[in-house]
Amino acid sequence: MQNANPFQNALAQLKRAQATHSTSSGQVVLTDTLVERMSHADREISVSIPVVLDDGSTKIFEGYRVQHSNARGPYKGGVRFHLNADIDEVRALALWMSMKCAVANIPMGGGKGGVRVDPKSLSKAELERLSRGWVGALWRNLGPRVDVPAPDVNTTPEIMGWMLDEYQKRSNDFSSSSKAAFTGKAVANGGSLGRDKATGQGGFYVFDALREKFGIGTGVDSNGGVTVAIQGMGNVGGHAVEIFHAHGYKIVAMSDSKGAIYAESGLNPEEIEAYKKEHGSLAGYPNAKEISNAELLALKVDVLVPAALENQLTADNAGAVQAKLVLELANGPTTPEADDALFARNIPVVPDILANAGGVVVSTFEWEQNLKGEQWSEEDVNQKLKEILATEAAHIFARAAELKTDLRRAAFAVALERIGTALKV
Ligand code: NAD
């Protein structure tokens, strides 16, 4: 049976990693105490956020911050604005952040935030009041050494700017290091060069470090013969499209929440971006065939990149996947049942906690630059990002071979070992 609750999936992932680890290594390194502690967040905060709408009425929104673990550093993770955001989704995302920061070996713990809202239904002024309201309700629990939020689905550098401004006012701290309270800010407001592209860029570095092991060539050597389908065209998917295309890969399919498009001969991302800007969506783009999101996931491509939301590959459709490799740029796109089905069919899944770690790695660079009053070049940022992700990708690949398991279990095992060391449990 497919489980659509992301938190239940995250808990299953913890237990599966523990079981594989002790069976394969013949010793219990990942203790029950560790797994039990990781199954519970340090703190879960639910708040009511009253927002005055433009018509003068007041609407209350539900907001959350889950601080999962600070065993390795301050809580770190994005804030999502989405109608489906709820405490279980935020719990799962926070747990994955702890694992991700440990996989990337950066000095951060895991947290996540959310607001249950359709942001498209709000005016810009209302969106600003909601963003400030989230901080107003939570600022005592945030701060550069405590908990450092960032963008996620439907939250942007501009929103981070409003949130930081509200945090500085509330805490009466306008020092330059107080900018480290939020990452993913605009560059003019203390953001890091390279942060906007970082998740897509990091995904590409991880892919590039592993592709040969899965028999996939470079885009340039294959003269565009390596095909890629990407689900989601937001911050992550949009940049991933650009970066893969720039490296000579053929993007044959793309999608957003309104629909998907396919062209066997390849799509031109720049043209599509321009179309999307004008029409608000990919739907109706004339130079490609319209397909459904389900069809996109089942395309015969070399690389399938889910970059939208959770639970896209499930027990119901994993059997239809024909890609050679799945690169998870979204969080939680594959359920545990789908993991098993894909592993049994020799389709490797590069897990979210490795593949999309680029965002939080460069967020950590931004935090460090703010604390030290520095500004690093984009070249430096990308060089450091590549070093970290290529090293950790190779490490996790080797651990998967050692443990005779899939990359997700190996990545969770590595993360749990590191967190276990910090917690001494
Ligand atoms: P975003 O809001 O910028 O974009 C989301 C995209 O997904 C949009 O293009 C939207 O149209 C599309 N989408 C929504 N529902 C869809 C559906 N059913 N089918 C196809 N497309 C759909 O968000 P984002 O920041 O790009 O985040 C995307 C994913 O990446 C999320 O899972 C997020 O948690 C994860 N992620 C984001 C970052 C980051 O730095 N922003 C870092 C790591 C992971």
CA distances (Å), origin 19, targets 25, 214, 393, 417, 418: 10, 26, 22, 13, 17
Mutate which of 257, 273, 360 for ligand 1? The one with the most ligand atoms within 8 Å of its CB, which is 257
Look at residues 182, 201, 151 and name the one whose alpha carbon lies nearest to residue 378: 201
Closest ligand 1 atom number to CA of residue 93:
34
pLDDT digits (tens, 9 = 90+) for 52-82: 999 999 999 999 999 999 999 999 999 999 9
Sequence length of the chain is 425
Look at residues 390, 356, 382 and name the one whose alpha carbon lies nearest to residue 153: 356
In the numeric block, which tokens belong to residue 325?
């490799």
d(CA 7, CA 355): 20
In the numeric block, which tokens belong to residue 246?
């720039």
Ligand 1 center to 256 CA (angstroms)? 9
Report whether 358 contacts 385 (CB < 8 A): yes
Closest ligand 1 atom number to CA of residue 156:
3
Ligand 1 contacts CB of residue 236 (under 6 A): yes
Looking at 76, 112, 197, 324, which residue is catalytic? 112
Ligand 1 contacts CB of residue 307 (under 6 A): yes
Ligand 1 contacts CB of residue 312 (under 6 A): no
In the numeric block, which tokens belong to residue 135?
């901080």
Ligand 1 center to 47 CA (angstroms)? 24
Look at residues 96, 72, 144 and name the one whose alpha carbon lies nearest to residue 354: 96
Ligand 1 center to 107 CA (angstroms)? 25
- CA torsion 274-279-284-287 (nearest 10°) is -20
- Look at residue 2 in the predicted model and tell me its pLDDT: 43
Ligand 1 center to 383 CA (angstroms)? 25
- Look at residue 170 in the predicted model and tell me its pLDDT: 98
What single-letter DSSP state applies at residue 192? Answer: P
Report whether 206 contacts 395 (CB < 8 A): no
- Look at residue 4 in the predicted model and tell me its pLDDT: 79
Phi, psi angle pair for 139, to nearest 5°: -60, -30
Q: Is 112 a catalytic residue?
A: yes
Neighbours of 265 (CB within 10 A): 9
Ligand 1 center to 308 CA (angstroms)? 4
Residues whose CB is less than 8 angstroms from the CB of residue 362 and which lie 6 or more positions away in sequence, other chains included: 192, 194, 195, 198, 202, 381, 385
d(CA 307, CA 300): 18
Residue at 168: amino acid letter? Q
- Which residues of the chain fall below pLDDT 70? 1-3, 24-28
d(CA 131, CA 49): 9
pTM of the model: 0.97
Phi, psi angle pair for 351, to nearest 5°: -70, 150
The residue whose CA has the least distance to atom 28 of ligand 1 is 308
Ligand 1 center to 77 CA (angstroms)? 15
Ligand 1 contacts CB of residue 92 (under 6 A): no
Closest ligand 1 atom number to CA of residue 151:
41
Question: Strand locations in 282-404, DSSP E?
Answer: 289-291, 303-306, 325-327, 349-350
Residue at 225: amino acid letter? G
d(CA 180, CA 352): 25
Ligand 1 center to 329 CA (angstroms)? 9
Q: Which residue has the tokens 């390194």?
A: 29
Estimate to the nearest angstrom the gap between the alpha carbon of 341 and the chain centroid: 23
Instruction: Provide the phi-psi class of 156: left if phi over 0, else alpha when psi is between -120 and 50, else beta.
Output: beta
Ligand 1 contacts CB of residue 357 (under 6 A): no
Ligand 1 contacts CB of residue 222 (under 6 A): no
Ligand 1 contacts CB of residue 133 (under 6 A): no
Residues whose CB is less than 8 angstroms from the CB of residue 420 and which lie 6 or more positions away in sequence, other chains included: 29, 30, 31, 34
- Look at residue 1 in the predicted model and tell me its pLDDT: 39
d(CA 123, CA 214): 47
The residue whose CA has the least distance to atom 32 of ligand 1 is 330
Ligand 1 contacts CB of residue 18 (under 6 A): no
